[in-house]
Structure 1
Amino acid sequence: MTTTDAPIDERTGPRPRTVLAASLIGTTIEWYDFFLFATAASIVFPQLFFPAGNETVGTLLSFATFAVGFVARPIGGILFGHLGDRLGRKTTLIATMVLAGVATALIGVLPSYATIGLWAPVLLVVLRVLGGIALGGEWAGAVLMAAEYAPPGRKGLWGSSPQIGLGLGLALGTGAFALLGTAMDDQAFLAWGWRIAFLVSVLLVVVGLVVRLAVLETPAFRAMQESADIARVPVVDVVREPASRRNLGWGLLARWAEGAAFNTWGVFVLTYAVTTIGMPRTEVLIAVTIAGLVSAAVVPVAGRLADRYGRKAVFAGGAVAFGVGVYPAFLGLGTGSLPVVVLVLVLLLGVVYGAQSGAESTLFAELFPARTRYTGMSLVYQGSGIYASGLTPLILTSLLAVTGGSPWLACGFLVLTAAVTVIATRQLRPVEM
């Protein structure tokens, strides 16, 4: 048994539940921060941080600000990937959590456009960039914290634990806005209520830091330190080594449908259902919250299936189901019926997306050797996020505008992303982890 596959010795290392908690709580908090911004970009920021006027233009500007964070995420992936591959996973994860928490809290006290004019959107973009950089470094480290501690035969299950945080973060973010929207009228919510959800992030970060400080460095990184096998410039090695370069290229394409799926059903749907279909905002938030909780429950099941049937099979299967379900899903959303919308989002966001999400973390970790793993998987996940995730709401909103509100052109775009993902996933060549 290799050092990296050795089971945790509770006499000298953290308990398994501590490792998984450290991995999960950090991603939950950072995704909570992320989804607060995503939700606010749909229902708050267009009215508060951009000039009054055309509603569609305001929404597009808000989604453009949302997309800027995805451009920043590869920067965070390279920066913190470099630190994570050279200094360790634990140190990096503490830094990303603090940075994300500070950026989110500052958004909660940011003056509106009516108060400080153009400085409002400028500062919003700056804070969005800082949050994007933090999240860009968080995801890969959280996956490696779990996967590199995992016992043999359970790497898919353990590696999926950070992805549970994505569903929980979504549920907490949209749930917080749903609760605040229920507890107060629209005027109070827009004036100050939405800020409460952003400020709560500070308390969550404190809890997360306490848990993460209790975890030792991963066995894989400690083995690298002992053998002095530390990459000088990990990003250069990823690009220079033929196998890593190949997996990087195909990995960037393989993630397209997963990123597009989440940002369709978890972000874009908030604007589409409210402004195009005419559903009440709180109802849509509740539907997304329920779907997020279902996704959190499906993720570990998908991770276990990935251990049994292979990461590529489960991940590609989720992409196929997404492509097949796009058209029926938009038909269901078009009814404006809350039970139907809940069913659509539970199936597409909860089950189908959950299957992809649960398999992808370990799949991408296995594309690179330990010495460049943090950097390599960060480049795949965060690099693809620019077009697969960040631009999706903007593209879908633009396609709806072109077709006068008809979703069929947008559906065709999403089906295309699914086809690209299936083809690219077949080309991936994982290495032994």
Structure 2
Amino acid sequence: MTSSAAAPASLRRIAFATIIGTTIEWYDFFIYATTAGLVFAQLFFQPAGKEIALLLSFATVGISFLFRPLGAFLAGHFGDIIGRKAMLVATLVLMGAATTLIGVLPTYAQIGILAPVLLLLLRILQGLSAGGEWGGAVLMAVEHAPADRRGRAGSWPQLGVPLGFLLASGVTALMTGVISPGAAYLEWGWRVPFLLSAVLIVIGFVIRRSVSESPVFEEIAKRGKQARLPIVTLFKRYWHLVILAALVFVGNGTLGYMTTGGFLNNYAINVQSIDTTAVLVAAVFAATVWFFSTLIAGYLADVIGRRHTFLIGFGIQALVVFPVFWLVDEGGLPGLYLALLLISTGLGLTYGPLAAWYSEIFPASVRFSGVSITYAIGAVLGGAFAPMIAQMLLGATGTTAAVSGYLLLATLLGAGATLCLRDRSGIPLGPDHEAEQATGATIFASRTPVAQLAETK
């Protein structure tokens, strides 16, 4: 951090801008995943047959994740060179344009094979945008914050993810249950949530343009300390941090995309025959729980540390991965609500502290590249194909036990990586402290005397 944190009024403005902008960005991303499990198999992949069409639909959700690292590379490179703010605005506009175009896309019945091809291309653009969005948002929040409030500040952009999921699920539930129920939703109602993005992007653009640049980057730029090739430096010196921190997110993302990726929704609707709108309303409930558990986790991260908060969250996840499917199988809609409550509580505790911890792991000159690329790689390894893998496991074994085993493995992997990283709460984030930032992030490396002294205070 620079010598002084932003004023309270500025912090409130930054909090509002990061939450609103990230909510809009992730609404766009999740509205696709929500719709993929409901209509894309029928409208864009129908000739493949019901089962294969559903797998292809979930595959398009996952394929976009493969392009998130590219988006992270581009945004990270330019974010470390020209600033965080410019990348925030650019990624927001790209996501909104791709989402709006999906809303006017012709179906397979209208233009044949070109329809799924165009759908996939637009989903790839969403992936590029999502890959660059997160790093800029979290650094704007964390680098403006006082050292003892970084966990809370880092949870602000994290809140945009459950809020985006809540908004996507809520709008879809409104379309399926009130405005365009039944055949009308399949005919035209599914398009409305995508077209709504055009309005939301204008709002987000205006808000994000109003915030000031990160003080850390301003100091880097003033001193001319931008890395010429930040990505090369990142992988040459800090590749081990990228791998470990990405695995931490794998533990969260794999379970998270059971809900946000549409698998659990599809399972409840098509296997357990629960009403579509009722399931979507339950998803709104899940997003609400996820929101509050993420918010609480941000506060906990400042009180008991990032690492301890993560380990509590992973412990909860490990305990619930088997019961959640039993609850849906035996309890119907009430069981689904309880399952989502359990999932969302663990998810929030392993998501709220992520922004602050990632920001404190990487040195200032490569921080945008580090947090963006790490998050994107974690998303690919964890969430990208989780719905498709779960669907394949269910189809191959006929039981959700295999799916639960897969989720438990990912959770234990995330917990193991968490144990390999040190908590760096309060470490200075500015360019004058690069030497301290560059050492001691893992349990395998020695810490600088400055870092050891800070931990004893």
Q: TM class by shorter-chain length? A: over 0.9
1:378-389 aligned at under 5 Å gives the runs 378-389=372-383
Which residue of structure 1 lines up, in the alignment, with residue 199 of structure 2? 203
Q: Choose from 398, 410, 415 the match for 2:408.
A: 415
Q: Choose from 55, 60, 63 the match for 1:60.
A: 55
Which residue of structure 2 lines up, in the alignment, with residue 176 of structure 1? 171
- Following superposition, the deviation at residue 385 of structure 1 comes to 1.1
Residue 192 of structure 1 pairs with residue 188 of structure 2: yes
Task: Give distance in 1, aligned partners of 2:276 and 2:103.
Answer: 21
Which residue of structure 1 lines up, in the alignment, with residue 434 of structure 2? none
Unpaired runs of 5+ residues, structure 1, are none
1:18-417 aligned at under 5 Å gives the runs 18-183=13-178, 184-241=180-237, 244-266=238-260, 267-349=262-344, 351-404=345-398, 406-417=399-410
Is the Cα–Cα contact under 8 Å of residues 270 and 284 in structure 1 kept in the other structure? yes
Tell me which moved more, 163-172 or 226-235.
226-235
Task: Give distance in 2, aligned partners of 1:345 and 1:215.
Answer: 35
Is the Cα–Cα contact under 8 Å of residues 80 and 92 in structure 1 kept in the other structure? yes
Displaced runs of 4 or more, over 6 A: none
Q: CA-to-partner distance for each residue in 1:327-352, whole Å, 9 max, x for gaps?
A: 11111011252122112102212x11
Is the Cα–Cα contact under 8 Å of residues 278 and 336 in structure 1 kept in the other structure? no
Q: CA-to-partner distance for each residue in 1:372-425, whole Å, 9 max, x for gaps?
A: 111111111101211200110011000000112x10011111111111111111
- Following superposition, the deviation at residue 53 of structure 1 comes to 5.0
Task: Give distance in 1, aligned partners of 2:207 and 2:346.
Answer: 31
Is the Cα–Cα contact under 8 Å of residues 277 and 336 in structure 1 kept in the other structure? no
Task: Give distance in 2, aligned partners of 1:50 and 1:265.
Answer: 22
- Following superposition, the deviation at residue 430 of structure 1 comes to 5.7
Task: Give distance in 1, aligned partners of 2:320 and 2:352.
Answer: 19
Task: Give distance in 1, aligned partners of 2:5 and 2:378.
Answer: 33
Tell me which moved more, 297-306 or 115-124.
297-306
- Following superposition, the deviation at residue 295 of structure 1 comes to 1.2
Task: Give distance in 2, aligned partners of 1:399 and 1:121.
Answer: 25
Identity of aligned residues (%): 40
Is the Cα–Cα contact under 8 Å of residues 154 and 356 in structure 2 kept in the other structure? yes
* SS of the residue 1:401 aligns to: helix
Which residue of structure 1 lines up, in the alignment, with residue 454 of structure 2? none
Task: Give distance in 1, aligned partners of 2:267 and 2:202.
Answer: 35
Unpaired runs of 5+ residues, structure 2, are 430-457
Is the Cα–Cα contact under 8 Å of residues 279 and 336 in structure 1 kept in the other structure? no
Is the Cα–Cα contact under 8 Å of residues 224 and 230 in structure 1 kept in the other structure? yes
- Following superposition, the deviation at residue 316 of structure 1 comes to 2.3
Task: Give distance in 1, aligned partners of 2:422 and 2:148.
Answer: 19
Q: CA-to-partner distance for each residue in 1:165-222, whole Å, 9 max, x for gaps?
A: 1111001001111001111222100110110100001111111111111111011001
Q: CA-to-partner distance for each residue in 1:243-275, whole Å, 9 max, x for gaps?
A: x22211211222111001110133210111111
RMSD: 1.3
- Following superposition, the deviation at residue 54 of structure 1 comes to 2.6
